Amino acid sequence: MAKRFFLIVLDSFGVGELPDAYKWHDEGSDTLGAIRGHPNFCCPNLRALGLFNIEGVGGGVPSPKASFAKMAERSAGKDTTIGHWEIAGIISNDPLPTYPEGFPKEVIEEFERKTGRKVICNKPYSGTEVIKDFGEEHRKTGALIVYTSADSVFQIAAHEDVVPVKELYRYCEIAREILKGKHGVGRVIARPFNGEYPFARTANRHDFSLVPPADSMLNLLQKAGYATISVGKIYDIFAGSGLSESNRTVSNANGMEVTLQMQKRDFEGLCFVNLVDFDMKYGHRNDVAGYAAAATEFDKFLTEFLPGMREEDVLLITADHGCDPSTPSTDHSREYTPMLIFGAGVKEGVDLGVRKSFSDISATALEYFGVDKEHTSGESFWGSVKK
């Protein structure tokens, strides 16, 4: 029977501050802690799997159906890109560049010259506020709204009636070519919006990431002949490296629907899923109620997904960083992440403790498929959980 490994990343679903959170001014951050008491939070499946049995979380069940762990990030940051790279076996010892004062003059001037459009804003900004404050000027002048955040990102916002989406993507590709070396930000992000003031962002976001600096588990699995299927923005995060198939999504609901479709397909390999709404729609907007409701929506998805798993299937649920919606900050938070691993061939209730790196997930997936991890990082826990 074909082996299938479903790796689902709940984008930003942290479970408490890391010991070095103070370096990022994230003391006290706890994304799960912020939402679990809200009336919108109802997650019986996650509870039964063992989410609350994870060390330091509290409120666990007597006999968890999954094995579980608390994952520490070894990489120097709390960015989506390096979080996913670490999950896939690549440790980033140096932080990706950030621009709390905006991008330097030489970067902006080269971008303006190559696109033929002026730039406005060029400072850290909330994605919803920046279009309120600069949207009208953009529509009148055609200038591109360039902004950043506490993360390593170069974001370009444009009204779809002023800059067609394909043209905005071309501008992002120009920025991606410029932003290399010392200015190699993790992601260049297209942020199209439409309508009238105060405007609304559309679902046509697209990320243009750095190519990973080394082979990840995706490349190793692909070389070994396994399918490597992306659902959501995984393809963008890895710049397509090591991925055999891309399935773009516009929401958590769409991502879960596509994942259910994948479950019904015959393939042998890895299905790597990112559910971005936790982060993009709720964490960054300090929306505790929305985040709690999104967790409940995912739990309902598990009601359908879990019974549909085949004999050889493995499901692993984790996250890439935190984004506590209850703190004054709207940025990512430096947190531990959860890890739940479940399947007919996986032992129930094994407490794997606190793992030293997200990359243990990569090592585990590779061992499951019998593929040598080569130079990728991580220590497999497959031997501890397989029946």
Per-residue pLDDT at 151 = 84
Angle at 90 between CA 88 and CA 93, to 5 degrees: 145
Separation of alpha carbons 180 and 113, rounded Å: 17
Encode pLDDT of 36-95 as tens digits: 999 999 999 999 999 999 999 999 999 999 999 999 999 999 999 999 999 999 999 988
Per-residue pLDDT at 310 = 97
Copy the structure tokens of residue 97: 């560049």
- Residue 78 bridge partners (DSSP): none
Q: Are 197 and 132 in contact (CB under 8 A)?
A: yes
Q: Are 323 and 12 in contact (CB under 8 A)?
A: yes
> What residues contact 27, with CB distance under 8 A and at least 6 apart?
17, 21
Q: What is the pTM of this model?
A: 0.91
Average pLDDT over residues 233-245: 95
Neighbours of 336 (CB within 10 A): 31
> What residues contact 135, with CB distance under 8 A and at least 6 apart?
145, 157, 159, 193, 197, 198, 199
Q: Are 367 and 354 in contact (CB under 8 A)?
A: no
Q: Are 74 and 91 in contact (CB under 8 A)?
A: yes
Q: Is the pLDDT of residue 247 over 80?
A: yes
Helix (H) or strand (E) holding 339: strand 337-342
Q: Is the pLDDT of residue 185 over 90?
A: yes
Smallest Cα–Cα separation from 365: which of 344, 341, 348?
Answer: 341
Report how far apart, in Å, the C-alpha atoms of 23 and of each of 82, 103, 333 are.
Answer: 17, 22, 11
Average pLDDT over residues 241-264: 97
Smallest Cα–Cα separation from 185: which of 152, 221, 160?
Answer: 152
Separation of alpha carbons 123 and 134, rounded Å: 12
* Residue indicated by tokens 């996650």: 46
Average pLDDT over residues 341-346: 98
Separation of alpha carbons 206 and 168, rounded Å: 10
Q: Is the pLDDT of residue 1 over 90?
A: no
Tell me the percentage of the chain whose pLDDT exceeds 90: 96
Report how far apart, in Å, the C-alpha atoms of 33 and of each of 21, 56, 68, 72 are.
Answer: 16, 11, 18, 17
Per-residue pLDDT at 319 = 98
DSSP code per residue over 238-252: TTTTT-SEEE--SSH
Separation of alpha carbons 75 and 154, rounded Å: 21
Per-residue pLDDT at 95 = 87
Smallest Cα–Cα separation from 122: which of 153, 96, 91, 95?
Answer: 153
What is the identity of the amino acid at 174? Answer: I
Q: What is the mean pLDDT of the chain?
A: 97
Q: Is the pLDDT of residue 150 over 90?
A: no
Encode pLDDT of 307-324 as tens digits: 999 999 999 999 999 999
Helix (H) or strand (E) holding 380: none
> What residues contact 127, with CB distance under 8 A and at least 6 apart?
147, 149, 155, 157, 191, 201, 284
Angle at 233 between CA 317 and CA 103, to 5 degrees: 120
Encode pLDDT of 275-303 as tens digits: 999 999 999 999 999 999 999 999 999 99
Confidence of residue 252 (pLDDT cuts 50, 70, 90): very high
Copy the structure tokens of residue 87: 């999950």
Ordered by where they begin, the domains of the chain are 4-94+211-385 (3.40.720.10), 105-209 (3.30.70.1250)
Encode pLDDT of 106-144 as tens digits: 999 999 999 999 999 999 999 999 999 999 999 999 999
